[in-house]
Amino acid sequence: MRGLIWLVAAAFFMQTLDSTIVNTAVPSIAHALAVRPIDLKTALTSYVLTLAICIPASAWLSDRYGTRRVFAASVWIFTIGSLACGVAQSLPQLVAARILQGIGGALLMPIGRYVLVRAFGPKDFVAAMSTAGIPGLLGPVVGPLLGGVLSQYATWRLIFLVNIPVGIAGLWLNRTHMPDFRGERRPFDWIGFALFALASGMLLVAAETAGNGDYGKAAIAAGIGIVAAFAYWRYGRRARHPVADLALFKVRSFAIAVGGGMCTRLGTAGLSFLLMLFLQIGCGWTPTMAGLMIVPQAAAMILMKFLIDRILKRHGYRRTLFANTAVATALLACFALLDATTPWWAIAALMFAYGFVMSLQYTAMNTLAFVDLPPAQAAQASSLTSAAQYLVISFGIALSSWLLAVFLGAEHHASANYVRGFHVAVLVMATMPMLAVYVFTRLRHDRPLRSPIATPETAA
């Protein structure tokens, strides 16, 4: 069983590493591909959006084809996608490779979690998941720093190529340690999947094209996305095996957790991307120094994990989320006070405080979604919350990039414009979590705590 835990841990690490490692290398990649740094947002959003679209299919694939075969296929796809990213010669090639990466990455975490549930049972699952989740928590610590070091002292291509030996090791462990679990065979909701993918893709295209100043195409894409989303909402309520079960939103705590989480992430998702541009282009920092600034945040998020259980037991979800979201909003707005003269230790202190608060925020939101759901609905709820989480992250990155691009205009090399644009973008982004403060007041009373599981998903 130890080999299985290491296999799942390696998968979690690869998935979380690639969600953060690219941010620090954005200026280096942009220079190599001869594009504006702000244009690299597409390489970030395409990966995260692919995760959101493909995650709902993971349960059906593992039930039909078996966990060993599907997990191996996901590792293969992720590894090949990493190789394609490493040899990309243009932004369209990089985006296509990131989509391929996202298809593989979307299956790693849900299947790994599902296998541990089946292999260890309810009694030992928490311990197994906590052990497997530690490397996933280290991904946000290692990713930005590794991305900065490799792009500064070697080549940005290595930030993708490092996945290849990890993928090869994962394939070997999969053959020797992965059990082949299967579930009930049921028809796949192809109509719902197509509508969900169309709605998600078109809405992101609308955000991307608006950021490029093409508001006509943005309006058309937004219209198609809204129509597709409405069609899925009508269709999903009647589907027998929906790819995303909208009936879950009838549960008040689930709806509030997802709604509040969407408002929060819409404002916070793009901060890391903007911060790396601000520090490197606006302030003239090296990629390594910029990557080091993420370490205090990630370290604080890990430290908070030891306090979350006691905080939620003492104060409950309603008071915790109300107060913590208000503090998170204030800290996010404080980033607008930074400029090129701000000492590194002040930025590091702000990052530490921000990470401490956001760790509690993410874990509380993610566990609140499950407190009133029966075990039979846990799998669908996990799939839906993960998809919503990554979907909003992609929109959040697109939104923050659009705010910065509007301020930059044609002067995308002027460092002073990046500083001023960063200030404006952060202040606008801080209004989004303010909506979440109101959403969390809609909880009728403080919910009983279910011990949060230390997984990568609760830290994102």
Residue pLDDT, tens place only, 249-267? 888 888 999 999 999 999 9
pLDDT at 129: 66
Buried b (16+ CB within 10 A) or exposed e, 98-112: bbbbbbbbbbbbbbb
Residue 457 clears pLDDT 60, i.e. is over it = no
**Model pTM score:** 0.84
How far is the C-alpha of 210 from the C-alpha of 406, rounded, in Å? Answer: 10
Residue 84: the pLDDT is 96
CB crowding 338-356: b at 16 or more within 10 Å, else e: beeeeeeeebbebbbbbbb
Distance CA 262, CA 402 (A): 18
Residue 310 has pLDDT above 50, yes or no: yes
The CB density around residue 16, as the number of other CB atoms within 10 Å, is 27
Q: Which of 242, 276, 308 is the last residue of a domain?
A: 242
- Half-sphere exposure in the Cβ direction for 31 (13 Å, CA): 13
Across 427-432, average pLDDT: 92
Short-list 267, 455, 244, 242, CA closest to 366: 455
Per-residue model confidence (pLDDT) at position 428:
92
Q: Can you give the pLDDT at residue 245?
A: 79
335 and 346 in a single domain? The answer is yes
In terms of Cβ atoms closer than 10 Å to its own Cβ (0-12, 13-18, 19+), residue 409 is exposed
Extract the tokens encoding 113: 């979690």
Helix (H, G, I), strand (E, B) or coil at 100: helix
pLDDT tens for each residue of 118-158: 777 656 665 676 677 677 667 777 788 888 888 889 899 99
Q: How confident is the model at residue 16 (pLDDT cuts 50, 70, 90)?
A: confident
DSSP SS3 for 88: coil
Widest distance between CA atoms in the chain:
61
Tell me 447's DSSP state: P
User: pLDDT at residue 406 above 50?
Assistant: yes
Tell whether 397 and 449 lie within a shared domain.
yes
Q: What is the pLDDT of residue 289?
A: 93
Cα–Cα distance for residue pair 172/91, rounded to 1 Å? 32
Q: What's the chain's average pLDDT?
A: 84
Helix (H) or strand (E) holding 16: helix 2-24
Residues 227 and 265 in one domain: no
Highest mean pLDDT among 50-59, 245-254, 272-281, 304-313: 272-281
Q: Does position 21 have pLDDT exceeding 50, yes or no?
A: yes
Residues 155 and 227 in one domain: no
For 327-381, the pLDDT digits (tens) are 999 999 999 999 999 999 999 999 999 999 998 998 888 888 877 777 667 667 7
Q: Quick one: 378 and 284 in the same domain?
A: yes
Query: In the chain, pLDDT over 90 holds for what percent of residues?
Result: 29
- Cβ-contact 143, 20 below 8 angstroms: yes
Q: Which pLDDT belongs to residue 185?
A: 74
Least confident piece of the model among 191-195, 255-259, 449-453: 449-453
- Looking at the fold, whether 279 and 233 belong to one and the same domain comes out as no
Q: What's the CA gap between 222 and 226, in Å, rounded?
A: 6
pLDDT band at 458 (very low <50, low <70, confident <90, very high): very low
pLDDT tens-digit profile of 255-306?
Answer: 999 999 999 999 998 898 899 999 999 999 999 999 899 889 888 988 888 8
Q: Which residue has the higher pLDDT, 427 or 135?
A: 427
- On the question of pLDDT at 41 being above 70, the answer is yes
Q: Determine the pLDDT at residue 89.
A: 94
User: CATH no. for residue 39?
Assistant: 1.20.1250.20
Q: What is the mean pLDDT of residues 86-102?
A: 94
454 pLDDT above the threshold of 50 = no
- R_g of the chain, CA atoms, integer Å: 21
Q: How far apart are CA 158 and CA 12, in angstroms?
A: 19
Residue 86 clears pLDDT 90, i.e. is over it: yes
DSSP letter for each residue of 271-303: HHHHHHHIIIIIS---HHHHHHTHHHHHHHHHH
- The number of angstroms, rounded, from the C-alpha of 255 to the middle of its chain's C-alpha atoms is 19
Same domain, 151 and 259: no
- Whether residue 208 has pLDDT greater than 90: no
Token code pair at residue 104? 């593989």
Residues 200, 138: one domain?
A: no
Q: Which of 258, 250, 228 is nearest to 439 (CA)?
A: 258
Tell me, rounded to whole angstroms, the distance of Cα 394 from its chain centroid.
8
Structure confidence at residue 88 (pLDDT) = 94
Cβ neighbours, 10 Å, residue 386:
22
> Which pLDDT does position 460 carry in this prediction?
54
CA dist 132 and 6 (Å) reads: 7
Total count of residues recorded for the chain: 460
Query: What does the DSSP assignment read for 128-192?
Result: HHHHHHHHHHHHHHHHHHHHHHHHHHS-TTHHHHTHHHHHHHHHHHHHHH------------HHH
| C-beta separation of 314 from 368 below 8 A | no
User: What's the pLDDT score for residue 268?
Assistant: 92
Do 197 and 327 lie in one domain? The reply is: no
Does the CA dihedral 106-109-112-118 come out positive or negative? negative
Of 175, 207, 242, the residue at which a domain comes to its end is 242
Provide the pLDDT for residue 124: 67
> What is the C-alpha to C-alpha distance for residues 255 and 305, in angstroms, rounded to an integer?
24
DSSP H stretches of helix in 214-251: 215-236
412 and 285 fall within a common domain: yes
**What domain range includes position 263?**
245-460
Instruction: Phi first, then psi: give them for residue 173, nearest 5 degrees.
Output: -65, -35
**Helical ranges in 369-448 per DSSP H:** 378-408, 415-429, 431-440
What does the pLDDT read at residue 316?
86
Q: Are residues 4 and 153 in the same domain?
A: yes
Domain tally, the chain? 3
Q: Is the per-residue pLDDT at 452 higher than 50?
A: no
281 and 237 within one domain: no
